[in-house]
Amino acid sequence: MNLMIDMLKALILGVVEGITEWLPISSTGHMILVEEFVKLNVTPEFMEMFRVVIQLGAILAVCILYFHKLNPFAPSKSAKQKKDTMTLWFKVIIGCLPAAVIGLAFDDTLDAIFYNPQTVAATLIIYGVLFIIVENHNKGKRPSTRKLSELTYKTAFLIGLFQVLALIPGTSRSGATIIGAMILGTSRFVATEFSFFLSIPVMFGASLLKVLKFGFSYTSAEIIILVTGMLVAFIVSIIAIKFLIGYLKKNDFKAFGIYRIVLGIIVAAYFLLIK
């Protein structure tokens, strides 16, 4: 009975992760709030590992959806297309360097200092306001970078610097990179897709480090919980990514900015006034 309840909780957490990892609304902010009401009957160490595993499920969704676009060895691609794909990967690697270097050095320290409701509430609101400001500033302006192939190595690196901001919980990795890319002159689609691609090595690397840290010794019940959360996060991520791409065809990011501000206020109110 307890296992069934924990599987249901894992399903709920997987849904939350799958939606919030790709929409620029902070998966951490949502997980902190949801975990107040949906608590797995596990140790803190296992819970940390669970968060990593469901993130892995989310990142696999990007790999599947964009497999052809990211595969430099696809037989159907011309020599030029294969070269362009390799170039895209080089830009992704360049963009990942800042977060990789700073994350390896300070990730645990930053989590220890900033992984709390107050920080999450503040970053939710701050970046929500930034989304609205950036969209208003860019309104009516033609982006200088409208295709991924037009993205320069310099811009890729600068977007990577914005990704470093996501080491502060509540910022949202996708939110920070999308805002940064748009400030640097990319279109919403380029900003969003490049944000997706940057997540692949960053999140795989983070997942690997956590797995090595916690090892592979789990009970059968724990494995079932991990697999449940991962599969749900994978399926929901596919839906969320397709929704976001479709949404951006007719809309901007202001609604997400407003949502972040409202959620930030809710998080602050709950933890400061109620809890």
Q: Alpha-carbon distance 67 to 65, whole Å?
A: 6
- Tell the residue number behind the tokens 């509540």, with chain if given: 170
Q: Quick: pLDDT tens for 145-170.
A: 999 999 999 999 999 999 999 889 88
pLDDT of residue 108: 74
Reported as a single tens digit per residue, the pLDDT across 214-252 is 777 788 999 999 999 999 999 999 999 999 999 999 999
Tally of CB atoms within 10 A around 233:
31
What pLDDT shows up at residue 219?
87
- Token pair 């982006």: residue: 143
- Whose tokens are 């010794």? That residue is 217
3-state secondary structure of 123: helix
Report long-range pairs for 76-84 (Cβ below 8 Å, ≥24 apart). 84/149
Range list of H helices, 66-152:
67-70, 79-114, 117-138
Residue type for 258, please?
I
pLDDT of 28 over the 90 cut? no
pLDDT at site 218? 83
Query: Could you tell me if 159 and 182 are in contact, meaning their C-beta atoms sit under 8 angstroms apart?
Result: no
- The CA angle 108-114-117, to the nearest 5 degrees, is 130
Structure tokens that stand for 14 in this block: 């997987």
Give the pLDDT confidence score for residue 275 in this predicted structure.
Answer: 65
- Cβ neighbors of 37 (< 8 A, separation 6 or more) are none
User: What's phi and psi for 118, nearest 5 deg?
Assistant: -65, -45
pLDDT, tens digit, 9 for 90 and up, residues 66-82: 999 999 999 999 999 99
Amino acid at 224: I
Q: What is the pLDDT of residue 257?
A: 97
Helices (H), the chain: 2-20, 27-34, 44-65, 67-70, 79-114, 117-138, 153-164, 173-183, 188-214, 220-247, 254-269
Question: For 35-44, 64-73, 81-90, 117-126, which range has the lowest pLDDT when averaged over its residues?
Answer: 35-44
Task: Look at residue 1 in the predicted model and tell me its pLDDT.
Answer: 60
SS3 145: strand
* Total-model pTM: 0.92
pLDDT tens track for 176-218: 999 999 999 999 999 999 999 999 998 888 777 777 777 777 8
Closest CA to 59 of 208, 270, 224, 274: 208
